[in-house]
Structure 1
């Protein structure tokens, strides 16, 4: 019986991703769409994120935010565009916002970030009761 309990405990531990001590959300993350990469960095007492790469940028480094739902913002350059602002918390969950998705041109006032493992983030943006979630992986 003791061996069965020990085997279940070991299997449960091995199946659960662990976070290295001091794991951080800072760094460059693959957004999972359009070859996008976002750098998350400290901005004062919070975290922010800016676009550092995407397939559209490799094709045209001067690419503009043409999909933005606000016509007045469509002339902004995508490279360096801040898409995540004022996120605070930790060590495994952060919240704040706004968050912006240049792929769709839509933004959300609030965001929630969960560090699922050292190399995986869940980003959730909500407008009222409607939410959208994406999984980002740490760029190598």
Structure 2
């Protein structure tokens, strides 16, 4: 294969590589916005309807045991294990990120309107949740 063909082949794949890094899809280490400690690993994925969602795949903060229940959740999530629970759903591309979704804080049992944005070259995911004018935000760290 000639040098030119190799260079052209690489250039054709650059947009695909760049796009993959500009997606929220992947495993993210959640960081508690109160104490700065790692809490869990959330896997963000693209749902069947094209939106983005995220579920807890690992519990890191064992203060409530290895598989705590969502005792403060309402409805179908009440007293269900947090590990395996979908806590982020309905995100769609918007402006410089994704919005229009919902995020659940299992510790408080509350849901918030959510928005996420990639930061630091895709190594951080800024997650914000709002009820009316009261907002909270966290930076999640991409897992290798």
- TM-score, length of structure 2 as denominator length: 0.72
Match of 1:124 in 2: 128
Shift of 1:66: 1.7
Shift of 1:92: 4.2
Match of 2:52 in 1: 47
Q: 1:112 & 1:133 partners in 2: Cα distance?
A: 9
Structure 1 residues 42-75: Cα deviation after superposition (integer angstroms, max 9, x where no partner) = 10211000001112399333x210233x387431
Aligned residues: 118
Q: 1:64 & 1:76 partners in 2: Cα distance?
A: 5
Tell me how large the CA RMSD over aligned residues is: 2.4
List aligned pairs for 1:103-114, cutoff 5 A: 103-108=107-112, 110-114=113-117
Structure 1: unaligned runs, 5 residues or longer: 1-19
SS of the residue aligned with 2:62?
helix
- Choose which of 54, 67, 72 in structure 2 pairs with 1:67: 72
SS of the residue aligned with 2:18?
coil
Match of 1:21 in 2: 18
Q: 1:119 to 1:60 in 2, by over 3 A?
A: same
- TM-score, length of structure 1 as denominator length: 0.74
